[in-house]
Amino acid sequence: MPKTTLAQYLIQERRRFSDATGDFNSLILNVATTCKRISRAIEQGALSGVQGDADGAINVQGEQQKKLDVVCNNIFLEVNQEGGNLAGMVSEELEAPYQIPVEYSRGKYLLAFDPLDGSTNVDVNVSVGSVFSVLRAPDNVADIVVESDFLQPGSKQVAAGYAIYGPSTMLVLTVGNGVNGFTLDPNLGEFVLTHPELRVPERTQEFAINASNSRFWEAPIKHYVTECLQGTDGTRGKNFNMRWVASMVAEAHRIVMRGGIFMYPRDGRDPSKAGRLRLLYEANPIAFIMEQAGGRASTGHQPILSVQPTSVHQRIALIFGSREEVERLESYHTGQLPSSLPDPLFQERSLFRESA
């Protein structure tokens, strides 16, 4: 069978729009080039000399930067500033919007990205990823982009995707017409369509959450997880498996491929923060992918794609995955919780009880 490359796929998509200029295709191909370069940097591992912490550097999020965080962020900026498609960029690693240097042409799109999601996993050789969102720049955008230019709800995205760097490198992409997966062919040096028309299974028996935070969870999350852990003896009548990779892209990829639900909910540790993950360049692109693949993404109270951003680094609660499970958890947030169940994590006869 002939292989369809990412470039060929984008040309086919472009035919749907008679007024398309090719700028959008060029932008996506530049992002793909970025992901190829990041994949190469990661696969070198310790040989590259870019593992470990970035000399004590702390990013705008107040988080310890890894050397590869900085390397990957620079790759995103270097590749995409030259394309002439962008008016500006925002990144997890930058405090303010990035301005396109004056020597390059400016375009009509905005790019928001997390250059290396799950970077704490790099040193232990676990899958990590990049995630990005493409927006149209406002018609009246000035020569210098400002934060408000990026503050568009996720429903305004024109494209979103992620690259996962694992046993193989894959690019999973939506341009608003479903979701497709492309695998990097090292012989061709091209992303090739290998997973067309991806769909998230509506039902699942897997959930992903960091159970070490359970003491801070709100009641709907506690109740949902307890139901799952009760297995066939509980109200769900089926056994669930629990997963946690500490890389949102890896979690999202597993869910796109075989279903599941991911929860990084709001909790009680810091009432001033609505969640842990960032809305513009983490939650929105993943939500767009999930919705385009038949899944669902929510804060628990409203769809992620309907949230109006208030800042480029705004944090938010994020729940996504198989539609039936997300809707069930939403009903616990917005309706009346069923009667409480015992907590199997911490009661005397629990997951951690000693064998008889």
* pLDDT tens string 128-179: 999 999 999 998 887 899 999 999 999 999 999 999 999 999 999 999 999 9
Mean pLDDT (whole number) for 266-288: 91
Q: Does residue 53 sit in the same domain as residue 170?
A: yes
Q: Which of 34, 219, 53, 168 is nearest to 111 (CA)?
A: 34
Q: What is the CA radius of gyration of the chain?
A: 21
pLDDT at 44 over 60: yes
- Indicate the helix (H) or strand (E) that contains 87: strand 86-91
Alpha helices in the chain (DSSP H): 6-14, 23-43, 67-81, 147-150, 219-230, 248-258, 284-292, 323-334
Within a 13 Å sphere around the CA of 160, how many CA atoms are in the beta-carbon half? 27
Beta partners for 161?
A: 132, 173
Instruction: Tell me if 80 is assigned to a ligand binding site.
Output: no
pLDDT at 353 over 50: no
Contact 130/69 with Cβ under 8 angstroms? Answer: no
Mean pLDDT (whole number) for 301-306: 97
Q: What is the pLDDT of residue 354?
A: 44
pLDDT at 58 over 80: no
Residue 348 lies in a domain: no
Instruction: Tell me if 116 is assigned to a ligand binding site.
Output: yes
The angle at the Cα of 113, spanning 170 to 268, to the nearest 5 degrees, equals 105
Q: Does residue 25 sit in the same domain as residue 174?
A: yes
Average pLDDT, the chain: 90
Residue 316 lies in a domain: yes
Residue 82 lies in a domain: yes
Instruction: Tell me if 114 is assigned to a ligand binding site.
Output: yes
Residue 63 lies in a domain: yes
Q: Does residue 324 sit in the same domain as residue 240?
A: yes
Other beta carbons less than 10 A from residue 341's beta carbon:
15
Distance CA 133, CA 135 (A): 7
pLDDT at 337 over 80: no
Q: Does residue 31 sit in the same domain as residue 114?
A: yes
Q: pLDDT tens, 27-37? A: 999 999 999 99
CATH, residue 312: 3.40.190.80
| Cα pseudo-dihedral 195, 201, 206, 208, rounded to 10 | 70
> What tokens appear for 316 in the block?
């938010």
Residue 345 lies in a domain: no
Tokens 């359970």 appear where?
Answer: 214
| Percentage of residues of the chain with pLDDT beyond 70 | 90
Residue 267 lies in a domain: yes
Q: Does residue 19 sit in the same domain as residue 126?
A: yes
The pTM (predicted TM-score) of the whole model is 0.91
Q: Does residue 176 sit in the same domain as residue 221?
A: no
Instruction: Tell me if 117 is assigned to a ligand binding site.
Output: yes
Tokens 């997390």 appear where?
Answer: 114
Q: What is the pLDDT of residue 335?
A: 85
The residue that leads in pLDDT, 51 or 287, is: 287
pLDDT at 344 over 80: no
Distance CA 104, CA 83 (A): 8
SS (H, E, C) 165-229: ECCCEEEEEECCCCEEEEEEECCCCEEEEEECCCCCCCCCCEEECCHHHHHHECHHHHHHHHHHH
Q: Does residue 169 sit in the same domain as residue 318?
A: no
Determine what percent of the chain falls in helix, strand and coil, rounding each to the nearest 5: 35, 25, 40
Q: Which domain holds residue 225?
A: 206-334
Q: Does residue 67 sit in the same domain as residue 174?
A: yes
- pLDDT bucket at 15, cuts 50 / 70 / 90: confident
| Percentage of residues of the chain with pLDDT beyond 90 | 76
Distance CA 351, CA 183 (A): 39
Contact 10/159 with Cβ under 8 angstroms? Answer: no
CATH, residue 124: 3.30.540.10
Q: What is the pLDDT of residue 65?
A: 76
Work out how many domains the chain is built from and give that number. Answer: 2
Q: What is the pLDDT of residue 352?
A: 46
pLDDT at 89 over 90: yes
Instruction: Tell me if 23 is assigned to a ligand binding site.
Output: no
> What tokens appear for 313 in the block?
């680094």
Distance CA 151, CA 138 (A): 10
Residue 295 lies in a domain: yes
Q: Last residue of some domain: 146, 161, 195?
A: 195
Q: What is the pLDDT of residue 305?
A: 98
305: three-class secondary structure by DSSP: helix
**All residues at 6 or more sequence positions from 296 whose CB lies less than 8 Å from its CB, including other chains:** 290, 303, 320, 321, 322, 323, 326, 327
Distance CA 327, CA 329 (A): 5
User: Phi then psi for 217, rounded to 5 degrees?
Assistant: -65, 150
